[in-house]
Structure 1
Amino acid sequence: MLETSVRMRRLMTLRRVQRVIDQNFYNGPQYKVETFGSTRNGLSSSESDLDIIVLDPERPNGFPDDENKKLPGIYNARRLGSLFHRAGFTEVETIPWAATPIVKFKDPVTSLHCDLNINERLGAINSDLISTYCDILPPLRPMLRSIKSWAKSRSLNNPSPQGNHPRSFSSYSLVIMTLGFLQIRGYLPNLQAGLPDKEDHRLQFWIRRPQPLLCDYRFFTQPPPGWKLPDILPQEDILRDWFRFWGDEFDSNGQMLSISQGGILERGKQSSANAPLCVIDPFIPTKVRPPPLPSPLSPLLIDTPHRRT
């Protein structure tokens, strides 16, 4: 549980960001700011950045091709960066060419670093899916914090490095790898299995890049009927098993991971053939999150107190 002071600082920054949006985009729709990522799913630490999404009420289902060509001014990352700079935020950086355009800045009042995007709602929905799995299996949050801490201590948590430093895992990839591992071991159900046929288009979202793609973001918020919470191993044992699985058992040449399909799939030709590890996004089946790490993965995992035979 985060300290009250940390939660209050995040709430203060969120309100300050909302004020900038309200003061500059008051003639159009009522845009609303929300958090996503670790703050939203309860996996953040006191040092975590604040991930923010600005919700566009006129585009709750995203960006079909005909909508993508006439987006309003709030979608201009460079303009947003200038507005936050004028409002007194510091270290402002815009990344308009990214698959998800973002604005990065620091709130000088709370010293929080923030990443902001406009209406890319799958990030928030992903956070809610992760939070639901954590609520089903209470030991999951501390386990994920331990894995993220391990990755940080070994500089294995930088998917967008500067200079010649190698890319490695994102926190999100580590979370998905852990959910898939727990599904395979029988500790978690698949909350995306057995969904009825898609009839309600309000439960789908068009992503923008590289081409508009319709994504089904539905998932169950409760385990399937008859599923019972299993007896869980002590955290040290389950962590040791996690390292053993990814270091020794998982065949990264012939397998890939998909939590929307319950765990391991055969690795197809379309699945980033040159990537040593394929982790499929739960809502974007064409998106693979492959950190370019050495294959096999065992050398990365061998120097850890949890991986002992």
Structure 2
Amino acid sequence: MNQELTEITVIGDDDTGLIARVTSMLFERDVNIEDLDQAVRQGLFRMTMRVDTTGMSCTEAELRDALDALCDDLGMDVQVRFPADREAKRIAVLATKESHCLAAMLEAFVDDDPEAEVAVVVANHDDLAPLAAAHDVPFYDIGDAGGVPDEEWLLDILAEYEVDLVALARYMRILSPNVVFRYESRIINVHPSLLPSFAGAEAYRQAIEKGVRIAGVTAHYVTTDLDQGPIIAQRVFDVPDDATPEELEERGQPLEAEALVEAVRLHLAGDLVVGRGRTHLREDSDAELGLPEEIAELNPDEPVDRPVAEVVEEE
């Protein structure tokens, strides 16, 4: 996202004339729309605009007030992010009880990175509250006694902290389409398998039952299809003979944390483009996807399929 542009997101029940009402109001205040993306899913409307406010004929406060009033009239929610609001990109981390991915995210984006921050931790149990407190990060337990999350509360928290990205740090609940649609292309999950293999629950156990020799982990964008979103980063490890799911989990957890942090860094740096269900690097990116070159070079490059006459001649 161009950091010199203001981002406006409007979400609510679909109705006729929504785009015209909002864009007309912006035009009247000399706000230039540079990019507009809109979609409707299951009756829910979402419009995201990136606009140039440098020549607008009102103040930032007046524009916020006008958008709030219009969207109240339309029964919509609106979020406005001016360039100055984004000095550091804001991450919400969702977790349950496992600490390893949350610990890695806090270390990477609270202690080490001045351009991004974990703004809030949200969980469906309170087990990890001390970990967030140790890093002075606000913590919310939105789960009931059985861990069922209050997603309306979750959406309120995400809006309050104006998050740029949601990272699922072993959050053991499936987000509803309502949440995923509102933050589409801005939610990253880490899953303990080499997707698309072994989606769903107990992935390490699935790997053992299928007899694989190499297992792994995957960081991917979240879509409404469980564990099917575009893949960003993966890591692999050997599966020993007679390994238990617990032993695979012990091998996989450090890689889960590493893959999640890598995927978040790539997203926040603007290195990723998603097309046809696959992630690509922007042309001007210096990042890498897939195996590091030194590992890829270990793979054999011969033999390859060639005309038989050529092979015989060389023999």
Q: Is the TM value for this pair above 0.5? A: no
Higher relative contact order (CA 8 A, sep 6+): 1
| TM-score normalised over the length of structure 1 | 0.30
| TM-score normalised over the length of structure 2 | 0.29
If each structure's strand is expressed as a fraction of its own residues, which one has the higher value?
A: 2
- Higher-Rg structure is 2
